[in-house]
Structure 1
Amino acid sequence: MEYADNIRISDSEREQVVDELGRHLTAGRLTIDEFDQRVAQVYRSVTQAQVRKMLRDLPAAPAPAPREIRSTHPARRRLPSHQRIEWLAWLTAGSLNIAIWGIISLATGVMIYFWPVWVIGPWGLVLLSRTLLRREGTRSEITGTVRCNNRLSAAAHN
């Protein structure tokens, strides 16, 4: 970033400098303590010359990589891994219930009441609504963490 000397700095410019310092931290050019000190100084800075001192001994930030061009074909939506597991459990339990119902019907020689519907139906409707609404959790684009049920989890959804 290029700055004029005695021009006052804006909050968004301070944030850009802090982001740049964060990139240098992750690249291993700064220690945590140095990063903390420089960020504190950036937030105390009034002019662009003061902020520029925080970046003086660091290499210029590389230009951001161009974004990948997206295909014109819509991407196939993949279920998160926890939902795939839930659907597999539903399919397994439903199949087992139907098998038990079928064995009992064959053993008695009479087609008995199809009771597995009370296991398969409600559970399937709940899973279907959760899958279609996609309201399981949200991913933070900044930190990569996932917020589910008001808890913060470091695991990323697929």
Structure 2
Amino acid sequence: MGREGMRAGDSDRQRVADQLKSALDEGRLDLNEYDERVQRAYSARTYADLDGLLDDLPGTVPVQHAQVEPVQVAHPAPDAARVRKDHSSRHTFRSALTAFLICTLIWAISSLSAGQAYYFWPAWVLIPVVITAVGALTDRNRRSR
């Protein structure tokens, strides 16, 4: 049995109805012809019934009859996505840690120049460092399970 004799599914009928709607919106079909074809699309039983509804419309050649091959989209390997996430997590942690160390250095210089230890305000900058470290460790533990 060829493709034309195979039974069409609901998604196939919906796809044809969507293409007919596009043709109506473009002015290629009048309302009566659109209505007639949509009724035939929803009552179609085989692919041949559906293909006949689009034959005279440009840009609606079924994929099986097209001379152009559909583009195959390459999906990145799951490991590559994990490596990017690991790198991003490490970069975020290092950035937060660097900011903390710079603030601590500023605090130390200002305390030494004043001759007394000021309130250790860089502790507030330590909060994002702890949060990113905990997040990175949690992700690592999840992946190891």
TM-score by length of 2: 0.39
- Compare CA radii of gyration and give the structure with the larger one: 2
Higher strand share: 1
The one of the two structures with greater contact order (alpha-carbon pairs below 8 A, sep at least 6) is 2
Higher helix share: 2
